[in-house]
A and B are shown apart, each in its own frame.
Chain A
Amino acid sequence: MAEGNQGEAYLLIDVGHVLTHAAYISRVEGAARLAAVAEASTTTTAVEGGLLDGVRRATANLELLVGRQILDRAGELRQPRDADGHGVDGVVVTASLAPLLNVALVGLTRDFSLASAVRAATLPYVSLQRAISLDGSGDCWDAEDLEALVQQPPDVVVIVGGADGGPVTPIREMGEALSTAYSLLAAPERPAIVFAGNERACRPLQAAFTGVVEVSAVANVRPSPQKEDLGGLQNELARLFYNRLGRCEGLRQLSHWAQVGLRHDLDALARTLRFVARRHGLARGVLGVDAGGNGSRVLWVRSEGPALNWASPFGLGSGLAALRQLNDPTAVVRWMYHPISWAEVWDRLSNIEVRPGGVPETEEDWDLQQAAVREALAATWKGALGAWAAFAEGRPAGEADMIVARGTTFNHARTPGQAALMLLDALQPTGLVRLALDWANLLPGLSGLAERDPQAAVQVYDHDALLELGTVVAPRGVLRSGARALHARLTVAGQARAELDVPAGSIRRLPLGVNERGRLELYPARGLDVGLGRRGRGGVVEVRGGALGIIIDARGRPLRMPDDDEARRSTLEAWQREIEEP
């Protein structure tokens, strides 16, 4: 997409593992607005015609809604938009289908160069396969590590180590062993080698790999113990990832069709969430949550610093297999209020796993799907908190001012309350947090649109991108069920709007519409912390409304459910009911 001039209409396409989403952006009285969204099943096999078939179907569905032709008779894009309003001026394509870049890190010291390399490689499109430190074995390889790097070669091996000007021998020996091992692989199977260590060791290392693979050298990630430089390595990993993306047959075809470069959806989402964090001045950042078919991802983005991501194999399609492998038969059942045996639950989930494109048709099936989302996200979140602890800079990892959820399960939930409750149960946020849905799957595409037409991207973001569910007040701590947990008073434009006592173990809502702002006075019980300094401290906070207004989640943290099955089911049912009650 060429930069500069403003277009009249844009097409945003997001290709997921199960569904392909298309959105049509057009100008209405000078401002860019979302006109329609449509979806179709993602097609991947050659029999189905590859990814393009699904993209064309989603676009054709969009044409029905907007009453404009976007494709010509041959199924090609009509670009630019003509005088009759047919066609589009630009296209943005994002895809989560792109396989992540598998990276192995090898360093001399775990606490210095390797730690910096891990930070540099914490990118949305990188899967860190292994991080090998040679400091425990006298600066030399363990045979098992070398064997593993050959049996399952990553896409990229990053070698780091040594301050600039330091000794060369350990790096050269490391390279010689690795080079000999990789010379045994056929050339196409050999990984790319990136060196981001002692600059003096660069030439000897390149010499060690001569005739095997070319070593690309970037700036030392740890030129001295006090200094860190991650930019060079991050740029190189981005280059390698997008190079490889361009070589994936299906994605290359799609990129050629759209005449634009493809973006990985998580990379694109991180950019948009960074904008969101800055635009709203969210000091604790934004948490992006994506429950997908073959896995779930969480992304924590603050105004500054790295965008931290965590991907797990727990998903709602083929990713259900990973949930089953937890070997906990109660794993999903514990979130269900319908009395179904765990055997029946896993039979049904297995059928969803092999046919992820289906939709629930019964109350039980909805309950089952949402229970699986809770389990998948909770397991993902647990992994993310562990992985992010090192990046939290002394604050609790993952605590954000806003949570934005993506994925069909959230966007197709029958009520906003169900979407909110899934998030609250799985992530158990504390303090004051805004909840929102990327209801039209626009956020990744907006970062691409911003490169072409920043004003249009901001206008669409402001008006159409998010469905604000509301602000959650979730005290940390546990009280006896039924005891008064919190007293809350909401004032809007100087007028008292609502006032209530919230019993422990329950959820209550205060009415505050979308785009409304209010002042919320909170008086928590002595044992509870609402994030205003310490336990029992109350105060007044400015809050924004949403489809559900203000949600006071006084169920306590960590969330506790009765052990008895019947009591647990009735508790879950009560929570479902309470979040729907205005």
Chain B
Amino acid sequence: MRAEPIASRLYAQTVVEHERRLPAAGEVLVAAGEQVESGRVIARCQERGPLRVVDAAEQLGIARDALPQYLRVRLGQEVQEGQALAAGGFMGWRAALAPVAGRVAGIAAGRIFLEETPRLIELRANLPGQVIRVLPGRGAVIRAVVSRVVGIWGAGGEGYGPLVLRSAAPTESLHWISIDLACRGKIVVGGCCLDKRVLLRAARFRALGLVVGGLAEHLRAAALELGLVVVVTDGLGAVPMAGPVFDLLAAHEGDEALAAGGRGEPVARLPELVIPLGAVRGPVHVAPDRPLAVGDRVRVTRAPYLGATGCVLAVVEAEGEVWARVSLDDDETVVVAYRNLERLG
């Protein structure tokens, strides 16, 4: 069996093509070639409101085909919550009322179909860069030179703001008290998060996002519930952030970044943290997927060395299996199944 190509989880400098897509067809406000800032609205649409069915004939106690005689609204009419849609009986004392504000979208078989008022959705670029492609009626693709960390789990949509470190070392857990008002509008970086109060405080102080090496498994539900943007880079549980990832984020403290939980888009994506690089420093590294090679920085993804990082000393293919000899950062040399390794850089 051959060693399979592996995508890197860490890019110090690379090019991303960030696709931004509306959940429904709408209007695109940018053109290919345009430079956009992160806050620029690039597309907008009206999201259809949910359908509500009012069984008017049943409520009025009339035959289904008799409903048109009792209608107080017409097709396409906007109605307010509580407005009478149809009424009958003496002085119209029996009425079918609109349960929500919306539009009369259909009348059939004794029922009135109401479509709730649509919601305006504005899609922001969320990443400064150049529009390289317009997705007609749907959005655009923005190209930028960035540093990029690909996460293993995420929550929430996207948040763009400055990075702020709240752990002194990649092994240090975030402490709830370190999440304060200064985190408002920022992306908080920490070694790992094992305390629910960290999430609650981050939500309360309106942090834009949280990037951690490890997140306690039971906190995933809380992160999703709070709607917080969370990017977990290394593992679930008390897993520290990989040294190279932490060093990269520390070097960019104060810089603006895009934290994407991967769940806010119409199609789920990998969670990631993307730091736009204003000017290109040195050659742009577009690391293609490739098999691991001697000297590669790697992270172990399975017990007993889960979360440990090191360098590949050798890749061995034998008896249908592929293994790698890895020198871990604590100087221990171990043999790890190839499938239990991730490339960092």
Contact = CB atoms under 8 A, between A and B. Distances in A.
Interface stretch (B26-34, B104-112, B252-260): B104-112
Nearest to B218: A346
A181 B51 contact: yes
A181 B4 contact: no
B2 A359 contact: no
A351 B238 CA distance: 11
A60 B236 contact: no
Given A47-B7, A359-B339, A180 B108 contact: yes
Given A350-B217, A361-B340, A184 B106 contact: yes
A361 B108 contact: no
Interface string A34-71: 00001111000001100000000100110010000000
A357 interface: yes
A208 to B, nearest CB: 9
Contacts of B302: 351-352, 355, 358-361, 365
A358 B1 contact: no
B81 interface: no
Given A140-B110, A141-B111, A180-B106, A361 B2 contact: no
A82 B109 CA distance: 66
B115 interface: yes
B303 A362 contact: yes
A414 to B, nearest CB: 13
B303 A177 contact: no
Interface stretch (B52-60, B126-134, B179-187, B195-203): B52-60
A243 interface: no
Nearest to A368: B303
A343 to B, nearest CB: 8
B113 A184 contact: yes
B237 interface: yes
B289 interface: yes
B55 A143 contact: yes
Chain A binding site: helix, strand, loop or mixed by DSSP?
Answer: helix
Interface in A359-401: 359-362, 364-365
A574 interface: no
A257 B151 CA distance: 32
Nearest to A37: B320
Interface stretch (A146-154, A158-166, A302-310, A531-539): A146-154
Interface in B39-77: 48, 50-55, 58, 64
A140 B64 contact: yes
Given A347-B236, A362-B304, A355 B152 contact: yes
Contacts of B109: 140-141, 173-174, 176-177, 180
A359 B302 CA distance: 8
A45 to B, nearest CB: 8
Contacts of A147: 50-53
Interface in B1-21: 1-2, 4, 7
A354 interface: yes
Contact of B4 (A41, A343, A351, A361): A41
A166 B237 CA distance: 63
Nearest to B237: A347
Given A143-B54, A359-B339, A361-B340, A181 B2 contact: no
Contacts of B171: none
A173 B64 contact: yes
A151 B303 contact: no
Contacts, number: 120
A448 B289 CA distance: 33
A139 to B, nearest CB: 10
A354 B336 CA distance: 19
B303 A361 contact: yes
Interface string B120-158: 000000000000000000000000000000001100000
A475 to B, nearest CB: 38
A181 B55 CA distance: 13
B51 A351 contact: no
B115 A184 contact: yes
A255 interface: no
A179 interface: yes
A415 interface: no
A292 B238 CA distance: 28
Interface in B234-248: 235-239
A348 interface: yes
A365 B304 CA distance: 9
A570 interface: no
A455 interface: no
Contacts of B48: 184
A329 to B, nearest CB: 10
Contacts of B52: 143, 147
B337 interface: yes
A35 to B, nearest CB: 15
Contacts of A140: 55, 58, 64, 109-110
Contacts of A179: 108
A235 interface: no
B125 to A, nearest CB: 21
B117 interface: no
Interface of A: 38-41, 47-48, 57, 60-61, 64, 140-141, 143, 146-147, 150-151, 173-174, 176-177, 179-181, 183-184, 186, 343-344, 346-348, 350-352, 354-355, 357-362, 364-365
20 contacts: A39-B1, A40-B4, A141-B55, A173-B64, A346-B217, A346-B218, A347-B216, A347-B217, A347-B236, A347-B238, A350-B236, A351-B237, A351-B302, A357-B339, A358-B340, A359-B302, A359-B339, A361-B304, A361-B340, A364-B303
Interface of B: 1-2, 4, 7, 25, 48, 50-55, 58, 64, 105-111, 113, 115, 152-153, 216-218, 220, 235-239, 289, 301-304, 306, 336-337, 339-340
Given A141-B109, A361-B303, A365-B304, 4 more contacts: A61-B2, A150-B51, A176-B108, A350-B237
